[in-house]
Amino acid sequence: MEVINIKGTDDTPNVILDKASGHFEISGRSLPEDVNQFYEQILDWIDEYAKDPLDRTEFNFKLEYFNTASSKVILDILLKFEEIVEKGKEVVIKWHYHEDEEDMLEAGEEYSDIVEIPFEYVVYND
């Protein structure tokens, strides 16, 4: 599979989707002008990945901020990974949040309540 490596901007997140290395991450800020256009290739890549996933997938969300439109796409991403779990593969979501950003922790907890995927919460302070 091809690697997706998108360098983030002030409005779009860094995205790394690399099956060969097992590196799956979305980080930074997500408030793209056209959320569907930005995330389309990411959702398509995950659909393709889901056909033949690794035995264990660890997906890192290290978002500082995301808007409402992005929150819906994040849920779509999580639901795609939930389907992988239902196929008998292991998926772990690592939800990173800044120690001063309780809202981001709460967002992760809300997603965790919706999908049947184990979440690990990772606090950082830099």
pLDDT tens across 75-125, in order? 999 999 999 999 999 999 999 999 999 999 999 999 999 999 999 999 999
Whole-structure pTM over 0.85, yes or no?
yes
* Chain mean pLDDT for the chain: 97
C-alpha distances (whole Å) from 29 to each of 15, 67, 72, 80, 105 are 11, 9, 15, 21, 15
Q: Is the pLDDT of residue 126 over 90?
A: no
Residue 2: closest CA among 23, 24, 20, 26: 20
C-alpha distances (whole Å) from 76 to each of 37, 72, 80, 113 are 14, 6, 6, 14
Supply angle C-alpha 37, 27, 6, rounded to 5: 50
Beta bridge partners of 120: 94
- 3-class SS at 89? coil
1-53 pLDDT tens trace = 999 999 999 999 999 999 999 999 999 999 999 999 999 999 999 999 999 99
